[in-house]
Structure 1
């Protein structure tokens, strides 16, 4: 079971990311008539964010399936790749897939910093002053995206981030 711990927004040197991993098991996508019962009507795939402070990712669409991951950071972006009844098959920033109850997800948009410490700018321009740095794993709320840039905020701070520096928004997807 993997527990994702919140990362900190940095103004200086990055700290080490804190995660503990365990192997995940794969489950087949169900195909019976209940699959359409609680469809959201929203496009699939799409991004959502974690609503709860603690949410279980399961190997299949039901409480009888084993928990493969535990998410503990509200706002974590997840890509919804399939729907079945009240269950949503989701993928995280690492590419791990599993099933979550729809009640654990929100339509609020967020972005998770990926690969390395990233610089957030005062304006959507590479020559704009750096307002803060965020380490991999930091999750921030997305307030708008246009062109290559997204305006993001977290812990009372905001700035502009190149959309390719995070997981949670599609290329060229307008937000806000």
Structure 2
């Protein structure tokens, strides 16, 4: 069973911030205004809560959630995200997020091969929930697809990046 101690501090920070990055990539792919961003943020947070309460959740996922719940863990994530995304445009956020997820996939494959598939699937699930969070309106004002073409394309890129 993989734990935080199996990673260097830098690697752990990358793994720790990956759920946030998985959601950010989708949000940046097609920003949907204040309410849309709030719904997307809630969807990402709900995935963390669901993992915490799921007795069958992958142990590495649970370790990330547990660290995410601490003030030190949140401060670590905040600092790492600010460093990685400083001055980024939405397009930059998507490309930087995909690069970060590629790094995490490599770390997981090397350091946690038994837990990597489940953890990567969890990251993909977070991305999907964020994409489906706000209902997009079509040009007539009626409810349209739950995710835009840009979000769908980013989901596909996340799947390729994570090899899920």
- TM-score range, shorter-chain basis? under 0.3
TM score, norm. by length of structure 2: 0.25
Higher strand share: 1
TM score, norm. by length of structure 1: 0.24
Higher relative contact order (CA 8 A, sep 6+): 2
Tell me which structure has the larger Cα radius of gyration. Answer: 1
